[in-house]
Every structure is written in structure tokens, then in C-alpha cells.
Chain A
Amino acid sequence: MIVGQQKDFDEIKKMISGYNRILVLGCQTCVAISFAGGMREVEILASMIRMDRKMAGQDIEIVEDATLRQCDFEFLDSVENRVDNCDAVLSLACGVGVQALAERYPDKVILPGLNTTFMGLTEKMGVWSERCAGCGNCILDKTGGLCPIARCSKGLFNGPCGGSMDGKCEISPDVDCVWQLIIDRLTALNQLEKLEEIFPIKDWDVSGHGGTRKIVREDLTA
């Protein structure tokens, strides 16, 4: 899922200054799960904004709402009225959602309340970590199901660097060296020989370096 993190309140404040009717719109999917942009967070943020404005002696009208997914136009229809009636929409969806909103309502000011951080998973309640960099060319079959692109600080393909110490990455002792994990796992799977194969130079074309990516499935298109 996509993991997001709410922007600093000061930044949000600045962003919305001048707008007196705001729709705070959450997204009940990925970012809700990462406790950044679900209905719960919408309520909290809305309350803070109201209080902030009140202390500044300014009026503000806030509408709180959330869509099931902001990244699908269909879900955005349901909030049409609300969008129409506000000066700006503060979206708590990921960047995709924000842009979908902007596309669906081209005349509206759409503001991002989150920084979209990574694709990852919930390690445990309250802890999320990155797992996939969306490179477009998956090699997990060769690395025991652990991705060196997303999880090696240096993005190395052929084993750890010299900074790997006691299984930890040299950038921080809190970060596991993914290559250590890969080796451990392949050892356990008795597939260590897979590492004897040298990775060829990776094709980064599919990773976005070749421009905005698009996928078309002819069989599904109308």
C-alpha cells in the first residue's frame, strides 16, 4: 500500500491561508491504513485548523469528508457538491489522489495535506516501512523475496558493500542490511548458489526514467 505522512501543520497553515471555506477530504484506503489521511485524521486536522483560525481571530468554514478512494474518478463524484461550495480542497490522499481530484475538478484549488512517502507495509501497529520502489523490473525471485533496490541504501545488486556490520547498514545501526537478510534467507532456503549469478546491468527504462509510465491492456479497454 501507499504510505503517507501528514505535512507539518505550519506548512498546511501557510498553504490554506486566504481560503475561508475548505473541504478537508480524506481517503479511506492506503493512507487511512497508515493513519495519515483517513476520516479519523480528517477530523483531527479540521479541528486543529478551526482552533488555529479562531485564535487568529479569523473565520473559517470547514467541511470534513472522505472518499473510499481518491484515485478513482468515480468515487470523486459523490463529493461534487461539497467541492463546488468551497474555496479550496485540502486532500489527505496520496499524490495520486490529489492529482485525480485536480483532474476531476480543474477549476478548484487542490492542496496536498500529505507527503506521499513510499510503498510499504505495516510492520506492526504504528510502524510502517518501505518495501517496493516500483522499479518496473522485479528481481525478487533472485534475492529470496527481499528487494535490494528498495531496501539497500546504496541500491547494490551484487552483495553487500564494505559497510555492512553485524547485519546492519552503515548508514544507521537501526537499518538492517538487506543483503545480510538476503544471504541469510537464501542460506535457509538452500539457494545460496543463486547469488553466484552476476546480475546484469539493470534496465532502468521501465522504472520511470524513460518518462511517465503507462500501461494499456487492450483486452480490457473499451
Chain B
Amino acid sequence: MQYPSNIRIVKVPCIGTIGAIHILKALENGADGVCLVGCSEGKCEYSSGNYRARKRVQYVKNLLGKLSIEKERLEIYNISAGEARKFCEVAREVTETVRSLGPIPLKTKAISNSKEE
């Protein structure tokens, strides 16, 4: 079982602990996409962490829209810890999506814009 090597995993006790700022920081610092992986809906050990995270992802997607960054770069999935295979699949899927979008405009535009100058 393998997942793409260009995925960086940040482990958190509950997906509910990931705030908008964490997602933004990751993107700002060079991640081309961010994928939140939490427990299945209704199965949160902390009762509502994954539910909150899902709403928060929507919020950040809106922020990304304002920045003209593709919303697809951010996604949230519910995968339980036993579903290693599903995780790998999702990881591949996410990588594929992000790859098809290309590098985050943050990098490309920064380069092209600076060239124009």
C-alpha cells in the first residue's frame, strides 16, 4: 500500500483542530493543495470535530475564491484509521486533481509577474 510521495502528512488529534489559518499557511508556504482527512461523519471521537472541519473547509474555499485560487485545491475526506487503502486512493485522487491544476498560482504568477516587471 503506497500513497504518492509528494504528500506531506501533518498529524493532528482531531481534524477539528485544523483552523482556516492552518490551511492558508500551508498554501502560502508552498503546498499546492491541502486535503483534510478526518473520521467518518458521525463517528468523531470528540463528537463534532469532523463536522466543524467540513464547514470550515467551505469557508476557506470561499476565501480561496476571493484570491482566485482554485477551490479544488482544498478538499476534505472522511476516512477511518482502518481504511488505509481508501486513504491511499484518496491520496492518489487528490494528487491527481492538484497535478492537473498545476502548481498553485501563488508560485507561477509570482514568477511570471516578476518577469513582466
Chain A in direct contact with chain B (Cβ < 8 angstroms):
yes
Chain B: how many interface residues by the 8 Å CB criterion?
Answer: 22
Contact between chains at B110 and A57 (CB < 8 Å) = yes
CA distance A56 to B115 in the complex (A): 11
Contact between chains at A57 and B112 (CB < 8 Å) = yes
User: How many contacting A-B pairs (Cβ < 8 A)?
Assistant: 51
A40 interface contact, C-beta 8 A: yes
Chain A: how many interface residues by the 8 Å CB criterion?
Answer: 16
Top 7 A-B pairs, shortest CB-CB distance: A57-B113, A47-B24, A55-B109, A9-B66, A57-B114, A43-B21, A54-B110
Contact between chains at A55 and B106 (CB < 8 Å) = yes
B28 interface contact, C-beta 8 A: yes
Tell me which residues across on chain B come within 8 A of A58, comparing CB atoms. 113
Nearest-Cβ distance from residue B15 to partner chain A, whole angstroms: 18
A189 interface contact, C-beta 8 A: no
A156 interface contact, C-beta 8 A: no
Tell me which residues across on chain B come within 8 A of A10, comparing CB atoms. 66
Listed residue (A8, A48, A51) with the most chain B CB atoms within 10 angstroms of its CB: A51
Of the candidates B20, B66, B111, B113, the one whose C-beta lies within 8 Å of that of A56 is B113
Interface string of A48-78 (1 = CB under 8 A from B): 1011101111100000000000000000000
Contact between chains at B117 and A57 (CB < 8 Å) = yes
CA distance A135 to B15 in the complex (A): 46
Contact between chains at B24 and A51 (CB < 8 Å) = yes
B105 interface contact, C-beta 8 A: yes
> Which residues of A in the span 82-117 have a Cβ within 8 Å of any Cβ on B?
none
B83 interface contact, C-beta 8 A: no
Tell me which residues across on chain A come within 8 A of B110, comparing CB atoms. 54-55, 57
CA distance A58 to B117 in the complex (A): 10
> Which residues of B in the span 76-117 have a Cβ within 8 Å of any Cβ on A?
105-106, 109-114, 116-117
The residue of chain A having its C-beta at the shortest distance from the C-beta of B25 within the complex is A47
A220 interface contact, C-beta 8 A: no
B42 interface contact, C-beta 8 A: no
Nearest-Cβ distance from residue B85 to partner chain A, whole angstroms: 34
A44 interface contact, C-beta 8 A: yes
